[in-house]
Amino acid sequence: MSTPETNRNFNKYLLWFANEHVDFRVGELKAILTILELDIPLPDSIIEPFLILELPSERIALDIAKRSVTLKCILELWAEATNVQTLHSILKSYPQHMIKSYFAPDKSFKIKVEMFCNSQTEQQKLEKIESFHYLPVEGRVKLKNPDLSLQYIEYFGLDPNTIPEEPFLVFFGRKLADGRRDIITQLSLKSRKFIGNTSMDAQLSLIMANQGRVMPGDLVFDPFVGSGSLLISAAYFGAYVFGCDIDFMMLHGKSRPTRKQVRHIPRQNESVCANFEQYGLRSRYIDVLVADSSVPLWRNGLVLDAIITDPPYGIREATEKVGSTKPCAKFSPEVPDGSFHYPSKVDYCLPDILTDLMDFSARHLRVGGRLVYWIPVFRSEYCEDDLPKHSCFSLISNSEQVLSTHTSRRLLTYEKTRYPEPNAAKETVVSRESVSFRDKFFNHAEETRQMKRKKKMENYQNYQMKLAMQDKQDR
């Protein structure tokens, strides 16, 4: 714990996180720090809603806040302590000239009080604000957009069922900026013109773009583009984006609507491009193509800055590629009467999808470029050693999003470290189990249904026996 002496320099900053997607905090923050070319050590995980960092300047702190969507706000930390009395002692011990420079008669101010894992009344909040009466404030109070915003935070731990009487930690500082939580609302799926069955929500899409280190002018590709949610987030950060997908109906806006209230309403101008126009990002949208990602159609000289994607798992979207189960089958795009030719499709198992994805990335990503994608796992069987590997990539980040009691998906971020050898065979190593994730998922679901039916039947039989015994006693 810091002492008053160590708190006298204002180079410490408190990063206060939103209380969701906890496992993604470190991955996003590490990526942002590398964008800013900073080598600052971070913990392996950030479970508590805050992190204290020593940063070179206030400008760096503001640059972090401009990119992060997991960050709620960032403070210039004036004091931290394990109790309120010590916090006030630290603040009172500051030389007046260090604090007074932030106050002036013509500068408005406000003090905000916040508690984590506890609640407070307006009267209690006011009393805590009044306890900082010794600060040399001179200007008027202004609750909206003041010149100086101060924040007092009490941290009561992570367990809402056992709240202590006094906080574990208290913080006080000058608020520098909010995180970019506003983009989540701006890009929300609720108001988006065109969405699909598996459209990624705005917050996770933005986190993926951050972990891909997307910068203005980058070229970003999604080989399983769907409705384009991931490309929208990349374009928001200034990248030029394009993608492909095997689903003709999806890319042409002809798939079944996912919103119940519009399923019987004629659909107009629904497409991936329409979403970019909705957000004013049309200039950064290159195009999307109907194509099979197992047989890439791109020229060898294509160089990408990032590949950000969400491969299909076979649950809500089919895992398939162009092919046929018939021996020696051949497909020709030329049809005598000039009509469209719809090729047959075969199963495209997840290990093959990941193998092709990583080998494609090894050929087309620049060195230092990033590959970001999701992989589904059964939590009881998960082992980090089974994650896909490639000699051209280094695993940078691995974060978990829990989906159910038994399943989750992990966001993997790889960075390309070298180019592959010319004419080299596929180097991706993917764990190939005898049963696919899709089969396991549906087998487990069927086992769960059978167990519920069995339990229901046992309860019914016990109830019938109880009635029979009661009837026997009555006689």
Q: What is the pLDDT of residue 332?
A: 55
Q: What is the pLDDT of residue 337?
A: 57
Q: Render pLDDT for 160-182 as a digit per residue (tens, 0 to 9).
A: 999 999 999 999 999 999 999 99
The full length of the chain comes to 475
Q: What does the alpha-carbon distance between residue 217 and residue 224 come to, in Å, rounded to a whole number? A: 22
For tokens 């398939």, name the residue. 320
The Cβ-side half-sphere exposure at 118, using a 13 Å CA radius, reads 20
Q: How confident is the model at residue 156 (pLDDT cuts 50, 70, 90)?
A: very high
Q: Render pLDDT for 193-223 as a digit per residue (tens, 0 to 9).
A: 999 888 999 999 999 999 999 999 999 999 9
Q: What is the pLDDT of residue 303?
A: 96
Q: Is the pLDDT of residue 7 over 50?
A: no
Q: What is the pLDDT of residue 328?
A: 57
Q: How confident is the model at residue 2 (pLDDT cuts 50, 70, 90)?
A: very low
Give percent of the chain above pLDDT 90.
63
Q: What is the pLDDT of residue 434?
A: 43
CATH number of the structural domain 184-433: 3.40.50.150
Q: What does the alpha-carbon distance between residue 77 and residue 401 come to, in Å, rounded to a whole number? A: 31
Q: What does the alpha-carbon distance between residue 294 and residue 220 come to, in Å, rounded to a whole number? A: 19
For tokens 């000699």, name the residue. 391
Q: What is the pLDDT of residue 317?
A: 78
Q: Is the pLDDT of residue 95 over 90?
A: no
What DSSP designation does 369 have? E
Q: How confident is the model at residue 97 (pLDDT cuts 50, 70, 90)?
A: confident
Tokens representing 32?
């942002």
Q: Is the pLDDT of residue 287 over 70?
A: yes
50 three-class SS: strand
For the 12-180 domain, the top CATH level (class) is alpha beta
Tokens representing 18?
């939103």
What DSSP designation does 134 have? T
Q: Is the pLDDT of residue 1 over 70?
A: no
More confident residue, 413 or 313: 413
Angle at 458 between CA 457 and CA 459, to 5 degrees: 90
Please state the domain extents for the chain.
12-180, 184-433
| Of residues 427, 424, 430, the one with CA closest to residue 412 | 430
